[in-house]
């Protein structure tokens, strides 16, 4: 049925559109090769139909009124995608090749990155309908962007109220070797049907070179196909000949239709080849001489398809020459203009869904205290359980104790302080999302954010009920999700969510702080360095239960030294006052590291994450033994406090 589908029928107009995409892609690649001959480009030559196919995918999604398409991809074909599919201004691309820097930007956080790691956001109009295309910045850990794309896609869906998952689409582009070899692929695929992580299906496209740098498939995987990992979640896999542009075009449209109907992941495996080495400065014949003898004799797909259309009477030699001249002149003109271009850093930063809300409640934005009467009111609402809920007797007692401690203003433990901080942010119109292994109850049975009726097993979330009652704006959500048993994938998801909307406090909690080492790639390549490399702010909060609590080396250290070593704060920063100096140090640092010894510390540091004009990752260490230890609690917690240091 698929092979004989009407999707394969192409009108002359559709064929010409495929031709035009292939023509631009071919001449763009050739221009880069001739103009920047000593630069790494990670070109798409040999899998060119990926570019024309991706354009068809975007067209098909636009017909269905998709509003946002978020892409994640590694190096191969990235520049061609930006130029052909995104229509990113060629002047900007060429300026980046020439390493033209932004004017007057000798400031913190301007390290930049290689051009084939950069992202962008572009709006394209299709028959009057605008689609926002975003490609996320991507480090050299090729598949690490997978959960980040999923997280950002879910965030956009949440805030667009996209319940049917039709307005926002995630697309991941893989290399064959990386797809088969990297464990984060499996961790990310597990999000498909998880309530707090599902995005209604992601479209996966594999640029299958049949080689990974110098590694052959026989050395790279144990399965027949690189896409066999998709069978773990029952995703359909479409294998397609990369030398057949019409078939690639058809299967892209088929994938859009499948995802629309079933809301599941779908895989497209484009079998092609790599005309040059891993990068253009590499010599592939060193290791695959016979393969590259064959590749050297293959006619480029653009030339073959153009000849096919000429034979079909759809294209003429004169039109072909005119089109090539037109594209070549455009490339030359853009290159000359790029020499006078000052690089606009904002042009390659993917845009968040919403700008930072600057709350004017309770004094200046930097103030984190709350008037006593409001805090008492909030505390009563979130700790008074419905009469219809038959909660566990111990839970009822815990909530009674919490309410009593708030009313007395003493003996407030960490869980109570956390709930008050989160509810107060919801009161101001911010959102809250908490994720991690067993976070609903809390690993140490301290949070109890979700309660269960002992007769019906129906759940009740006090903070969710409070949030639904307040409804203070588009970002006002409360979501708490027990995650899959994953650190790498889930922390990447939450990072992606955090960069999508700066008005949501996004928290990831490790079961024990030392479990975070399973997510070290996300920590090193995104959280500690994302703003410095790509200008992307994140207010992600990592909660790391920590402390020598007598449970051995596996459960006693969150490796605080690693985070301290990754800090780039500068003690030499000098300002007229201590307050300004500390504020400048925080703004020009890559993250914050805190060890909360009192519940008051914890309350204010959570609120500070939102009550700022900027966002920074926050790493919170908190000892398990202090969670209920009354000796460190501050009696004056409920006093109206203003914090003078931002």
Ordered DSSP codes for 109-139: T-----GGG--EEEEEEETTEEEEEEE----
- Is the distance from CB of 513 to CB of 550 less than 8 angstroms? no
pLDDT the model gives residue 308: 96
Identify the band that residue 106 occupies on the pLDDT scale cut at 50, 70 and 90: low
> Can you tell me the mean pLDDT for 355-378?
80
Number of helices (H) and strands (E) in the chain: give both, helices first: 22, 15
- As a whole number, the mean pLDDT across the chain is 88
Distance CA 490, CA 188 (A): 8
Q: 138-141 — which CB contacts under 8 Å span 24+ positions?
A: 138/72, 138/73, 138/74, 138/75, 138/78, 139/525, 139/526, 139/533, 141/521, 141/525
H-type helices in 224-371, by residue range? 245-262, 289-296, 301-311, 317-338
| Residue burial 516-552, b: 16+ Cβ < 10 Å; e: rest | bebbebbbebbbbbbbbbbbbbbbbbbbbbbbeeeee
Q: How buried is 504 (Cβ within 10 angstroms: 0-12 exposed, 13-18 middle, 19+ buried)?
A: buried
Distance CA 540, CA 617 (A): 5
Q: What residues contact residue 321 under an 8 Å CB cut-off, 6+ apart?
A: none
Angular region, 222: left φ>0, alpha ψ -120 to 50, beta rest: alpha
pLDDT surpassing 50 at residue 634: no
Structural domain 372-627, CATH architecture: 3-Layer(aba) Sandwich (3.40)
pLDDT surpassing 80 at residue 7: no
pLDDT surpassing 80 at residue 353: no
* Residue for token pair 């996209």: 162
pLDDT surpassing 80 at residue 96: no
169's enclosing H/E stretch is: strand 168-175
Q: What residues contact residue 424 under an 8 Å CB cut-off, 6+ apart?
A: 370, 374, 375, 378, 607
- Is the distance from CB of 431 to CB of 503 less than 8 angstroms? yes
pLDDT surpassing 50 at residue 544: yes
pLDDT the model gives residue 277: 87
Q: What residues contact residue 176 under an 8 Å CB cut-off, 6+ apart?
A: 206, 207, 208, 209, 210, 212, 217, 220, 226, 269
**Residue ranges covered by each domain of the chain:** 6-104+115-348, 372-627
Residue 584, CB half-sphere, CA atoms under 13 Å: how many?
14
pLDDT surpassing 60 at residue 632: no
> Can you tell me the mean pLDDT for 448-463?
95
> Can you tell me the mean pLDDT for 471-496?
92
> Can you tell me the mean pLDDT for 2-15?
80
Higher-pLDDT residue of 624 and 198 is: 198
Structural domain 6-104+115-348, CATH architecture: 3-Layer(aba) Sandwich (3.40)
> 34 is written with which tokens?
């001739």
pLDDT the model gives residue 247: 95
Give the three-state DSSP class for 494. helix
pLDDT the model gives residue 644: 38
465's enclosing H/E stretch is: helix 462-470
Identify the band that residue 597 occupies on the pLDDT scale cut at 50, 70 and 90: confident
Query: What are the pLDDT digits (tens) for 402-439?
Result: 999 999 988 899 999 999 999 999 999 999 999 999 99
Distance CA 215, CA 180 (A): 12
482's enclosing H/E stretch is: strand 478-482
Query: What are the pLDDT digits (tens) for 255-288?
Result: 999 999 999 999 999 999 999 888 888 899 999 9
Identify the band that residue 471 occupies on the pLDDT scale cut at 50, 70 and 90: confident
- Is the distance from CB of 492 to CB of 525 less than 8 angstroms? no
Distance CA 432, CA 513 (A): 21
Sign of CA dihedral 186, 188, 192, 196: positive
- Is the distance from CB of 435 to CB of 481 less than 8 angstroms? yes
Please give the DSSP secondary-structure letter assigned to residue 608: H
- At 305, give phi and psi (nearest 5°): -70, -40
Distance CA 16, CA 52 (A): 11
Torsion of CA 487, 492, 497, 503, to 10 degrees: 80
Residue 228 CB neighbours (<10 A): 15
Strand pairing class (266-271; 237-241): parallel
């Amino acid at each position: 049925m698929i092979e004989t589908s009407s999707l394969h029928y192409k009108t002359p107009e559709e064929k010409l559109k495929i031709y035009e995409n292939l023509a631009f892609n071919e001449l763009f690649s050739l221009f880069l090769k001739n103009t920047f001959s000593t630069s790494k480009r990670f070109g798409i030559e040999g899998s060119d139909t990926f570019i024309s196919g991706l354009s068809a995918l975007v067209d098909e999604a636009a017909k269905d009124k998709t509003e946002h398409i978020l892409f994640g991809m590694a190096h191969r074909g990235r520049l061609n995608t930006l130029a052909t599919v995104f229509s990113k201004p060629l002047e900007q691309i060429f300026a980046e090749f020439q390493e033209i820097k932004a004017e007057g930007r000798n400031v913190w956080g301007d390290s930049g990155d290689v051009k084939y790691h950069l992202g962008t956001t572009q709006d394209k109009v299709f028959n009057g309908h605008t689609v926002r295309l975003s490609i996320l910045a991507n480090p050299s850990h090729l598949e690490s962007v997978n959960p980040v794309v999923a997280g950002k896609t879910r965030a956009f869906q949440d805030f667009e109220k996209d319940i049917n998952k039709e307005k926002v689409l995630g697309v991941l582009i893989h290399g064959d070797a990386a797809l088969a070899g990297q464990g984060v692929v499996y961790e990310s695929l597990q999000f498909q049907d998880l309530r707090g992580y599902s995005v209604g299906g992601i479209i996966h496209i594999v640029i299958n070179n049949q080689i990974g740098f110098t590694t052959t498939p026989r050395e790279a995987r144990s399965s027949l196909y690189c896409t066999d990992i998709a069978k773990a979640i029952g995703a359909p896999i479409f294998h397609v000949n990369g030398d057949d542009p019409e078939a690639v075009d058809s299967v892209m449209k088929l994938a859009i239709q499948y995802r629309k109907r079933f809301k599941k992941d779908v895989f497209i495996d484009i079998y092609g080849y790599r005309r040059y080495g891993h990068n253009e400065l590499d010599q592939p014949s060193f290791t695959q001489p016979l393969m590259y003898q064959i590749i050297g004799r293959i006619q480029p797909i653009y030339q073959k398809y153009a000849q096919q259309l000429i034979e079909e009477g759809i294209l003429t030699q004169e039109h072909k020459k005119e089109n090539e001249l037109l594209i070549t002149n455009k490339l030359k003109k853009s290159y000359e203009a790029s020499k006078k271009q000052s690089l606009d850093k904002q042009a390659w930063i993917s845009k968040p869904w919403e700008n930072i809300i600057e709350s004017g409640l309770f004094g200046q934005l930097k103030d984190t205290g709350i008037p006593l009467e409001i805090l008492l009111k909030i505390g009563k609402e979130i700790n008074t359980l419905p009469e219809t809920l038959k909660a566990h007797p111990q839970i009822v007692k815990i909530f009674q104790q919490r309410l009593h401690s708030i009313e007395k203003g003493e003996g407030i433990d960490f869980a109570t302080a956390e709930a008050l901080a989160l509810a107060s942010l919801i009161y101001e119109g911010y959102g809250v999302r908490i994720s991690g292994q067993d976070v609903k109850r809390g690993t140490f049975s301290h949070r109890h954010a979700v309660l269960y009726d002992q007769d019906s097993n129906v759940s009740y979330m006090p903070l969710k009920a409070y949030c639904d009652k307040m409804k203070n704006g588009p970002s006002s959500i409360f979501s708490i999700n027990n995650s899959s048993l994953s650190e790498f994938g889930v922390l990447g998801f939450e990072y992606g969510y955090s960069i999508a909307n700066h008005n949501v406090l996004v928290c990831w909690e490790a079961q024990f702080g030392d479990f975070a080492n399973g997510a070290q790639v996300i920590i090193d390549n995104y959280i500690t360095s994302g703003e410095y490399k790509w200008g992307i702010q994140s207010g992600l909060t990592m909660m790391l239960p920590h402390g020598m609590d007598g449970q051995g080396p596996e459960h006693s250290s969150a490796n605080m030294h690693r985070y301290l070593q990754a800090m780039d704060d500068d003690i030499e920063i000098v300002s007229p006052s201590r307050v300004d100096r500390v504020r400048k140090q925080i703004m020009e640092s890559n993250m914050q590291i805190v060890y909360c010894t009192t519940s008051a510390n914890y309350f204010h540091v959570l609120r500070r994450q939102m009550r700022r004009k900027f966002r920074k990752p926050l790493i919170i260490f908190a000892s398990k033994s202090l969670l209920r230890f009354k000796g460190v609690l501050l009696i004056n917690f409920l006093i109206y406090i203003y914090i003078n240091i931002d």
